[in-house]
Structures are given as C-alpha cells and as structure tokens.
Structure 1
Amino acid sequence: MDIATILGVVGSFVLVVLAIGPSGLGAFINVPSLIIVVGGTMGATMINYPLKEILGIVGVAMKTVFAKEASAKDTIAKFMDFAQKARREGILSLEGDIKELEDEFMKKGIQLAIDGLEPNAIREIMETEINYTMNRHKLGADLFTTIGTFAPALGMVGTLIGLVQMLQSMEDPSSIGPAMAVALLTTFYGAILANIICMPVAGKLKMRSSQEMEVRELVVEGVLSLSSGENPRIVEQKLACFLPPKQRELAED
C-alpha cells in the first residue's frame, strides 16, 4: 500500500477544510455547482473515451494505492540465483523454479529461454509486450489528465452561468447570493477535482508505469543473459547498471 498517496489526498482535503474554518462547510456545498462540474466533466470525458475505459476508472485509481512496487534489487537477486543454477545444472533445471514466480513477465521470458528460442526472438517478443503494457498504462494516466483538464473548464462554464443568472436578477437582492454561489463554487469544485485528485493521480500512474518498465527492461536483459549462458558475475555486473550508484554499492556489500 502506498501511504504517500493516502496521506497526500487526506492531508490536502484537511488543509482545505481548515482553511475554510469559520465559514463552515455548509457555505461551500452547492448542489447545482456539483452537478455542473462533476456531471459536465464526466459527460465530456465519455465523449473523449470509450465507456469501458470510463467504467474501469476506479480500478485504475486504486493502482496508485495498492499496486505492488517492483524492486529492481530483488529482481537482480533472483536472476543471480537462476544464473548460478543454470551454470551448474543447465538452463532446463529452471523449469521447476519459475512455477513459483509471481512476476508473469519474468516467468514468460525465462520459459522462452528454456524453450530454446534465439536471443533476438526473445527480445522481440518481450519488448513487444513491454510496448503494449506501456500503451495500456498511458491510457489510464491520460484518462485522469483529461478529467483534470475538463474539470476547471466546466468550473468556468458554471461561473459564467452563475454570473448570467446574477445579472438577470439584479433587481431582486435575495436571488443574487445563490447565483453568485454557483458562479464561485463551480470554479472552486473544478480546481479541487483537478489539482487534488486527477492531476496527482495521473502523475503517480505515470511514475509507477516508468518504474515498472525499468524493471521489465532489466528482466529482458536478465533473460537474455540466461539464454546466452553468461557467467553469473557478468550477469550481476550487467544488471547492476539498472540500479542507482548507492544501491549498487549496497548490493556489492
């Protein structure tokens, strides 16, 4: 679980509520404004994306909290074990070990090496899967970026609606307040939806995708090393290039 995401969202809303303070939350709740921003934003997003992608939005958002972060260091350690065993007993001896792997991408790559495919063929298959995975991840991040773009725009639409209503009822002072509330709160809701939820979620999804792709590139190199029967020490040095300098030093110690 990613505690930073939870703390960020909760902390941001708490600070906003504290800033509202003496006014009370009641003054910042306006149903017409919510309908304009939330309803309008989702409607515009549905025009932009297929319904299937919209329905999966909650699952995509949950990846920012519950997705298991891939560890390059742990992955290298596994490849070191595999390389040493393959060196002693041959690559076919890994067939039983890969059944226990949780990483389906690594399992598939090592199975291709066990099956005797040429390194170029293995690289092509695995990099094709990496590219399609990146496209899927990009779609999820782009979905939240789109919502974050539409929300402030719909907030401005609500502001214009509120101002028009206010100007039409200048003769009735009692109606100016509700119209002004719609005008201001729609902008407020749009800014909150975009800058506390959607844009940060999109950024976290992009970061997680980048980290996962780095580990997958590491897996490709590890599988190719196993397929070529390289010395475990060479495998270690090659894969250590994927680690930051400080982590390389710790790994060597």
Structure 2
Amino acid sequence: MDILSIAGLVLALIAIIGGSIAKGAGLSALWNFAAFLIVIVGTLGAVLLQSGLPTFKRAMKIARWIVQPPPDNRKKLIAQIVDWAGTARKQGLLGLEAQVARQPDKYIAKGLQMLVDGVEPEGIRHMLEIEIAAEEHADMQAAKVFEAAGIYAPTLGIVGAVLGLMAVMKNLADPSKLGGGIAAAFTATIYGIASANCLFLPAANKLKSIIRHRAGDRELVLEGIVSIAHGENPRNIEARLGGFLH
C-alpha cells in the first residue's frame, strides 16, 4: 500500500472541503448535480472517445497501482538470477527447465525458456527488448488516459460555468436567484480544476513513474538472463546487476 498516495488524496480532500468551510461557502456549495454531470461525465465521454477499448481496459486495470503499486523486489530478483546462474554452471542450461513452469511472470518464463532452448544471447536480448518496449508502450498509453482526463476536465469546468451563467442570465429579473445561480455556475469550475490537479494529473504521473520502474525490472532480468547465456560467473553477474539497485 502506497501511504503517500493515500495521504495525498486525503490532504487534497481536506484542502478543498476545509477551504470551502473556512471561506464561508460551506459543504453545500461543493455539491451540484448539473456540474458533476457536465464535468465528470463529460470528461469520461471525452476520454472514451479518445481511447481504444484495449487501452481503456488496461488503464482501469493499472489504476490500482496508484495506491497499491507492484512490489519493489529487485533484490529478490537478483538473488534469483544468481541462483539460476549457479544452477546453469553446475547442471547446464537444461537444469533450468524446471524453473520455467514455476514462474508466475510470463516475461521471466519466456526468458528462461529461451535459455533452456539454447537461443543465442543476442537473440534473447533482441526478443526480450521487444517485449519490454511493447509492454512499456501499452502501459504508457494507459497512463495517458488519466493524463487526458486531467486536460479535458478543466475545460469542461469552464463549459459548465458558462452554461450556469447562461441560466443565471435568464433570471436577471429575479435578483434573489442571482447569487445562488452564480455560485452553482462556478462549482463546475471547481470540479474541473480540482479533479485535474488533485487526481487525474498526479495519478498519471504516478503511473508513469511506476511503469518506468517496471521497465527497469525487466531490463534487470534481461541482463541477468543474457549473462547466464554467456556463461558468466554468478558472482560477476551479481556485481553487475547490483547497479540496478541505485
């Protein structure tokens, strides 16, 4: 669980709600169904129009990484790779065949299978690099779904404010309705700017950081498997991969 993400979300809510109360607007000023419909539902519509179905589904899948990112297990990965290197030196590459079925990660299983099949080191590198690039590209496109929401939401907030002011203009003959109407109009602006800057854009940046870190994990595995294919000493492999910990 990412405590900083949760703390950030909580503090953002406290800042907006507390600010509204402190300024005398109260909690009721923050709720307006029409503003919610225009900004939040409108933003969702714009994002769906922009995104392909696989990308949107991937975005929903990785959204949990914002508060529950994948575990940082680089030390464990290095220890595992060094163990594989020791097995390969003692039993040959075929000694790693039993490890393939034990891997929950398809990427690692694919790399080990290529080792067992006797694929040349450069061939392994080439295929795994393609795998890394494809996965990173797909994840980055998914993260951009949240980035797009952060771009569209403020604009739709302005649309909501203009629509609200248009409604106010129709009631100019009744001054008692002007104050509440103007306040409701600007609620849409709050929804747009607050959702973009307190949720969508920070979420997109958090996901991009996690995706880059995962790509680094993949590169670590790639270097380890290629080193095993070259028949390098396990201690040399461990020393080389230690650079990924910094």
Q: Once superposed, what is the RMSD of the aligned Cα atoms?
A: 1.8
Q: Is the 8 A contact 1:114 1:227 kept in 2?
A: no
Aligned residues with identical type, % of pairs: 35
Q: What's the CA shift string for 1:46-71, capped at 9, x where partnerless?
A: 22123454455433311222342242
Q: 1:56 to 1:71 in 2, by over 3 A?
A: closer
| CA distance in 2 between partners of 1:81 and 1:143 (Å) | 40
Q: Secondary structure at the match of 1:27?
A: helix
- SS at structure 1 position matched to 2:244: coil
Q: Distance in 1 between matches of 2:237 and 2:56?
A: 43
Q: Which amino acid in 1 is paired with 2:39? A: V
Alpha-carbon separation, structure 1, partners of 2:49 and 2:34: 22
Alignment correspondent of 2:201: 199
Q: In structure 1, what is the equivalent of residue 228 of structure 2?
A: 226
Match of 2:12 in 1: 12
Which residue of structure 2 aligns with residue 240 of structure 1?
242
1:160: which partner in 2?
A: 162
- Contact persistence 1:41–1:147 (CA under 8 A): yes
Q: Distance in 2 between matches of 1:128 and 1:107?
A: 15
**Alpha-carbon distance in structure 2 between the residues aligned to 1:57 and 1:74:** 28
- Following superposition of structure 1 onto structure 2, how do residues 80-159 of structure 1 map, counting pairs within 5 Å? 80-159=82-161
Normalized against structure 2, the TM-score is what? 0.91
* 3-state SS of paired residue (2:119): coil
SS in structure 1 of the partner of residue 101 of structure 2: helix
Post-superposition Cα deviations, 1:5-35, rounded to whole Å, max 9, x if no partner, equal 2222122212322222254311221111111
Q: Indicate if the aligned counterparts of 1:30 and 1:181 stay in contact, CA closer than 8 A.
A: no
5+ residue gaps, structure 2, are none
Alignment equivalent of 1:190, drawn from 184, 189, 192? 192
| Counterpart-to-counterpart distance in 2, 1:41 and 1:189 | 11
Aligned with 2:173: secondary structure? coil
**Structure 1 counterpart SS, 2:154:** helix
The SS at the match of 1:117 is coil
- Give the 3-state SS of the residue equivalent to 1:203 in structure 2: helix
Q: Is the 8 A contact 1:151 1:194 kept in 2?
A: yes
Asked if structure 1 preserves the Cα contact closer than 8 Å seen for 2:87 and 2:96, the reply is: yes
Among 65, 72, 78, the residue aligned to 2:80: 78
The residue aligned with 2:210 is 208
Aligned residues: 244
- Separation (CA, whole Å) in 1 of partners of 2:53 and 2:124: 35
Equivalent residues of 2:58, 2:142 under 8 A apart: no
Relative to 1, partners in 2 of residues 1:55 and 1:87: Cα closer, same or farther, differing over 3 Å?
closer
Q: Deviations 1:115-140 (Å, cap 9, x if unpaired)?
A: 10011111111111111101111111
- Residue 29 of structure 1 is matched in structure 2 by 31
Give the SS at the match of 2:38.
Answer: helix
Give the superposition deviation at 1:86. Answer: 1.4
Structure 2 residue matching 1:171: 3-state secondary structure: coil
Structure 1 contact 69–212 (Cα < 8 Å) conserved: no
Q: 1:158–1:182: 8 Å Cα contact kept in structure 2?
A: no
TM-score normalised according to structure 1 size: 0.89
Task: Flag the 1:175–1:53 CA change in 2: closer, same or farther, 3 A.
Answer: farther
AA aligned opposite 2:190: F
